[in-house]
Copies of this chain bind each other. A is one copy, B any other.
Amino acid sequence: MSIDAWLVLALASGVRSRALRALLDQFGDAKSIVTASSKDLRLAGLNERSVHAIANPDLPTLDLCKDWLSAPDHHAVTWADSRYPVLLSEIPDPPPLLFVWGDAETLGLPQFAIVGSRNATPGGRETARQFARHLSQGGFCITSGLALGIDAAAHRGALDTDNSTIAVFGTGLDEVYPKNHETLARDIAIKGALVSEFPPGTPVRRAQFPQRNRIISGMSVGTLVIEAGLRSGALITARLAGEQGREVFAVPGSIHNPLSKGCHQLIRSGAKLVERSDDIIEELPGILGGLAQPVQQNMALEPGSDPTAIDPEYQRLLTVMGWDPVTVDTLVNRSGLTAEEVSSMILILELEGRIDSLTGGRYLQREEGRSK
């Protein structure tokens, strides 16, 4: 069976992507390689370690893989498979085989990666979820690493919509890490896919995560970093995205937030500063084809606070109010209303949460009070 041959090749340590490509060019397919004589493989330029690895496959792991693959919704997607992500095949070292749990067709969707700190602030997680939700609605499949913090929030934002999301593991797909994301992993497998290049049974090893990160960035047209300390693994993903020729985006934040420092460093190194998901959609024209419709994003629009529900008179006041703090006097001048009318409307708008009162009798329109 062809997949067995691919498994042998994928598990053969030392057979690098480039060597494997050369072998495939020469032998035609995976099966012809694994059934070739050691002499022919040597003649084809393969080094001794690789020749040995192909001739002596790791049978217990091979059995484990085949066993895992026999379960429903478990797939192996190889270079020879039309479902193998095109963008991933373009990186310098694409894995020859991906284990997939869920809908393997998902891999063919235009993917966008959202990554960030495991120790994200609640605000950062909310930002990740909302960006993921809007980019998902905009037509992207959100890809991330199932980690605590930003990764999980990004997956959840995508799950809020009816669109799919992909989690790339740094372990075997039977080893959910972290453990308390088992339910989240299951939800993702149902509406999207879990992906790993590591065979089932592969435990957590630190070194596997940067390797995993190249798949997250490699499958994606772009990578967005939301909150990352200066040592965050998200910066590795961003660097790999850059090396793979993909767009890198970062959300800025307070200079007093240690988790903004990684994002600021990325921006200084050329990452695109983004404030809204539309900044990303506008930056990636053509990726989504007819789908690319900047979503009317309202970062903070909660169900029930439909901004169209506002009285035109009040809307006019908000319009003349603009986005800088203003006094009642200014509003009177700008609106032509009386001070009493303005004061009473201000009170209503404040109660509705559309504006904030600042010191010095000034008022400031809330961002979430408006769409755009």
Contact = CB atoms under 8 A, between A and B. Distances in A.
Interface of A: 117, 119, 121-124, 126-127, 229-232, 251-261, 264, 267-268, 272-276, 299-300, 319-326, 330, 334, 350, 353, 355-360, 362, 364-365, 367-368, 370, 372
B324 A126 contact: yes
A231 B321 CA distance: 13
A55 B253 CA distance: 58
A350 to B, nearest CB: 6
B267 A122 contact: no
A261 B365 CA distance: 14
Contact of A255 (B261, B299, B320): B299
Nearest to A326: B122
A89 to B, nearest CB: 32
A321 B229 CA distance: 13
B356 A357 contact: no
Given A356-B358, A358-B356, A122 B255 contact: no
A125 to B, nearest CB: 9
A260 B267 CA distance: 15
Contacts of A231: 322-324
A322 B261 contact: no
Given A123-B323, A350-B360, A353-B359, 5 more contacts: A117-B324, A254-B323, A255-B276, A267-B267, A356-B358
Contacts of A229: 323-324
26 contacts: A119-B358, A121-B322, A121-B323, A121-B324, A122-B320, A122-B326, A122-B334, A123-B254, A123-B323, A126-B324, A229-B323, A229-B324, A232-B324, A252-B264, A253-B323, A255-B274, A255-B367, A256-B300, A256-B323, A256-B370, A257-B323, A261-B323, A273-B273, A353-B360, A356-B359, A356-B360
Contacts of A121: 319, 322-324
A-B interface, 5 closest residue pairs, ranked by CB to CB distance from nearest: A121-B322, A123-B324, A252-B252, A123-B322, A119-B325
Contacts of A276: 255
Nearest to A119: B325
A127 B255 contact: yes
A259 B117 CA distance: 25
B359 A357 contact: yes
B275 A264 contact: yes
A299 B256 contact: yes
Given A356-B358, A357-B359, A358-B356, A275 B261 contact: yes
Contacts of A356: 358-360
B127 A258 contact: no
Contacts of A330: 122
Given A252-B253, A252-B273, A267-B267, A323 B258 contact: yes
